[in-house]
A = this chain, B = another copy of it.
């Protein structure tokens, strides 16, 4: 990772912004490389080239850094899906499944954070950091829900939220399952019948989304 700290303590506003951005960029790069679970605050500080205490001037904990990246990842995913679907009228469940599964798989940090947020990150931050995260996440999820409900009119915005919620839950688990440890990957290679519960991420998320939307349309509420 490129890292050239040109000041020891950021005092001027532009230096503060620069350092803030550098911390987030380092945290993101490390998480994409080895998974959120394996990155410590010390790792992030080392990658930025500063002491841990310098990080703590900007974020309370490593969890707050990743929650802030998680909120941004939701917003950015929302914009990407809008960019593809905004002009579509009377789209099919299959089209929505195509776009949602592909754009999600293109965002490995978001996929990893879907599990990490409720499991660990939301447990080690202040209420104000939690609140910011929830507000931004819900805004993105509701915007995606409205879009799905508009593109497939039989779904509607209210049940569009069910689609996004179910997809986020399913994809969160499947991301962890479909990215096994080296030992487990070796076991699956040696005994492929044991890998039945470990499908490839994109086709499994695609099929899930298609089946779930189809089921919503066919279920009387």
Instruction: Write the residues of chain A forming the contact surface with B, with a CB cutoff of 8 angstroms.
Output: 37, 114-115, 118-120, 122-123, 127, 130-131, 134-135, 137-138, 141-142, 161-162, 165-166, 168-170, 172-174, 176-177, 180-181, 183-184, 186-187, 191, 194, 196-197, 199, 207-208, 210-219
Contact = CB atoms under 8 A, between A and B. Distances in A.
Contact of A127 (B174, B187, B199, B219): B187
A184 B214 contact: no
A118 B173 contact: yes
14 contacts: A114-B173, A115-B119, A119-B119, A127-B183, A130-B184, A131-B187, A131-B191, A135-B194, A137-B197, A138-B197, A166-B170, A168-B173, A170-B170, A213-B215
A127 to B, nearest CB: 6
A85 to B, nearest CB: 20
The 10 closest A-B pairs by CB, nearest first: A215-B215, A169-B173, A211-B215, A118-B176, A214-B215, A172-B173, A123-B181, A218-B218, A118-B177, A134-B194
A184 B142 CA distance: 20
A118 B178 CA distance: 9
Is the contact region of chain A dominated by helix, strand, or loop, or is it mixed?
helix
Nearest to A141: B197
A106 to B, nearest CB: 20
Contacts of A37: 119-120
Nearest to A161: B196
A37 B186 CA distance: 26
Contacts of A218: 214-215, 217-218
Contacts of A215: 210-216, 218
A177 to B, nearest CB: 5
Contacts of A210: 215, 219
Nearest to A168: B173
Contacts of A170: 166, 169-170, 173
Nearest to A186: B127
